[in-house]
Amino acid sequence: MNAKDGHGNHLLHLAALGGQIDMMNRLISEFNANIDCGDQNQETPLHIAVQRSKGTVIEAVIKMKPNLEARNRNGETPLMVACKLGKIEIMKRLVDAGADRHTTDNDTNSILIEAVLAGHKRIVGYALNIGVDKDHQRVGGLAALHIAAKDGKSRIVQMLINGNAANDKSGYYGMTPLHYAAQQAHSTVVEVLLNAGVDIKGKDYWGRTPVHHAASGTSRPKNSARERTVRLLLEGGAEKQCVNDEGKTARELAEEKGNQRVVEILDIG
């Protein structure tokens, strides 16, 4: 029962791959096969079943009492694998069976962060509903809201805010979600954050406010998002005369970057 193929798969892995529950049960009961055996990627039969099978197969494998917290080489439990693949029904079965909803992988990403990265809105909602730490920060200091704001995922940003995620939490280099959204000129996200009452005057480690970030980005000729972002910040109360640690205003940064339209907006606003 310890025989492996060229990929380190035991017979249990191959049976799980094909959803052959009867064969798995026989291997365990008659030949004492280890339900938690690992392949070359340290993935157990449950990991394989999560990737390749449907909910009914997962339920059958769970009844074999596998280690729900077994980790592959990336530090991912079966729950994390299901999350990354967008398999919410399988996630529910694993959580109901006792899988740790607060698990993190080798990159210290939680299931909420992974759901945000992948844009799985339903899983974001599910993770919030089951009490996953909405403010967990991975290595580097980014929480789910920072990532959603940075990536311009306005609907997920709104979901996280509605779920009471900390909207002014400092992340990498002291940047808040608003700093990230302004930097990337995600004007819709900026609007959502401003409506939530975030601090529009907060500074990062270099003394830059959100309007500094918005003004110093590179505008694209056919995209007015950066200009709209600057306008939203000014209308929201941003201080255009505020200087960063180098003593520069947002206008000066915009001028350095050749953002003439932003310069004009700051002159008028």
Each residue's pLDDT tens digit, 220-250:
645 689 999 999 999 999 999 999 999 999 9
Residue 256 near residue 216, CB atoms below 8 Å: yes
Q: Using pLDDT thresholds of 50, 70 and 90, give the confidence band for residue 269.
A: low
Task: Tell me how far apart the alpha carbons of residues 156 and 225 are, in angstroms, rounded to a whole number.
Answer: 19
Q: What is the pTM of this model?
A: 0.93
Residue 169 near residue 146, CB atoms below 8 Å: yes
Task: Tell me how far apart the alpha carbons of residues 72 and 175 are, in angstroms, rounded to a whole number.
Answer: 32
Q: How many CB atoms lie within 10 A of CB 42?
A: 16
DSSP H or E stretch at residue 78:
helix 78-84
Q: pLDDT digits over 248-263, tens only?
A: 999 999 999 999 999 9
Q: pLDDT digits over 9-65, tens only?
A: 788 999 998 999 999 999 999 999 999 999 999 999 999 999 987 788 899 999 999
Q: How many CB atoms lie within 10 A of CB 256?
A: 11
Residue type, 16: A
Domains of the chain: 142-269 (1.25.40.20)
User: For residue 220, what are the β-bridge partners?
Assistant: 223
User: For residue 104, what are the β-bridge partners?
Assistant: 110
Residue 134 near residue 163, CB atoms below 8 Å: yes
Task: Tell me how far apart the alpha carbons of residues 110 and 112 are, in angstroms, rounded to a whole number.
Answer: 5
- pLDDT at residue 89 above 90? yes
Residue with tokens 């959502």: 192
Residue 161 near residue 167, CB atoms below 8 Å: yes
Residues near 195 by Cβ (< 8 Å), separated by ≥ 6? none
Residues near 243 by Cβ (< 8 Å), separated by ≥ 6? 207, 249
- Report which of 218, 237, 234, 236 is spatially closest to residue 226, judged by C-alpha positions: 218
Residue 77 near residue 42, CB atoms below 8 Å: no
Distance of CA 67 to the CA centre of its chain: 25
Mean of all residue pLDDT scores within the chain: 94
- pLDDT at residue 5 above 80? no
